Amino acid sequence: MLNLGQAFVSASQFGLTPFDLARPTSIEDIHDLLSLPGTHCYLAGGTDMFIQFREGLRPDFVIDLNGISELADISLKGNALTIGAGMRHSEGACHGLVDQHIPGFTSAWSLFGNTRVQGMGTLGGNIMARRERYEGPILASALEAELAFLGPDGEFTASMEDVWSNRHSEGALLTHVSVPVAGRPRLVYDRTLRPIFTLAAVLQDAPTGGIGGRAVMGFEWDRPVTFDLDLGGIPDRRGVSASAPEIAAAAFERFPEALMDAEYKKDAGAAVLTRLLTQLGELS
């Protein structure tokens, strides 16, 4: 074995700046920590934290969430599937409740990152990293998920759009993600044209009758864009398959022109969305 001083082995120059480390064991502990002075950040999977440090993150203290088991729970609460923010990708992506209540979500979740990230990364970390190319925010928007936080002033909820717009409280902890499932959502997610774009599509029963649908396009460098689908006059999910080209074309009429290569993304996106809607209609 080579050791420093015995051979030409130099020390690794990748040190991080020192920080205080807090290791809470319950959500209640977090509440106490939020009243402490100084800046903080959260550590769960940690797959993104080192990158953030290298990008300039300098917290006074890091809150290690790995001792809080209640953050890694999945349960059905009323009409919503509640997924703990600390749920690791590899476990969530094969969870029976997720597969039962949101068909298609597990296969989409299994695509996050890579083998290594799947084993370490968490849904909460993926969302709160707020990186445009990460897939948690795309799927959270597509499923109209409600994000539950704990902040210094107590609990509150926000949408993914609120998080992108910084309307949530900085420093608050994302505790869980609630996905409404009363409308029997079904999701499909396509990454064949990544890194140009990825596309998620969801069909579900509308609260007022009929069906509703949403598509979310994700990009490498731009924030995801949401398209609410006009499904008026479509009697059922199977009808979506028959009218998929028209629905997709209508959805992308409102395509944001400020995006790079907007024309290409609009045309290719309509083709992919047609395929996804056809698939969704046939599956339902």
Residue 47 near other proteins by CB under 8 A = yes
Residue 17 near other proteins by CB under 8 A = yes
Q: Could you tell me where the DSSP H helices lie in 76-159?
A: 89-92, 96-101, 105-109, 115-120, 123-128, 136-142
Residue 4 near other proteins by CB under 8 A = yes
* CA gap 102, 169 in Å, rounded: 29
The smaller minimum CB distance to other proteins, of residues 14 and 166, is found at 14
Scanning 59-67, 151-159, 201-209, 215-223 for contacts with other proteins by CB under 8 A, the matching segment is: 59-67
* CA gap 205, 217 in Å, rounded: 21
Residue 94 near other proteins by CB under 8 A = no
The smaller minimum CB distance to other proteins, of residues 38 and 209, is found at 38
* CA gap 130, 126 in Å, rounded: 7
Count other Cβ atoms within 10 Å, centred on residue 179: 22
Interface pick for other proteins out of 34, 66, 99, 129 (rule CB under 8 A): 66
Torsion of CA 102, 225, 138, 104, to 10 degrees: 30
* CA gap 21, 37 in Å, rounded: 14
Scanning 115-123, 130-138, 156-164, 229-237 for contacts with other proteins by CB under 8 A, the matching segment is: 115-123
Interface pick for other proteins out of 40, 42, 49, 190 (rule CB under 8 A): 49
Residue 107 near other proteins by CB under 8 A = no
Q: Which two tokens stand for residue 2?
A: 């080579």
Residue 1 near other proteins by CB under 8 A = yes
**What is the total count of residues that contact other proteins (CB under 8 A)?**
39
Residue 46 near other proteins by CB under 8 A = yes
* CA gap 27, 68 in Å, rounded: 7
Interface pick for other proteins out of 57, 61, 151, 250 (rule CB under 8 A): 61
Count other Cβ atoms within 10 Å, centred on residue 98: 21
Binding site residues, other proteins, CB under 8 A: 1-4, 9, 11-12, 14-26, 29, 32-33, 43, 46-47, 49-51, 54, 61-62, 66, 114-117, 119-120
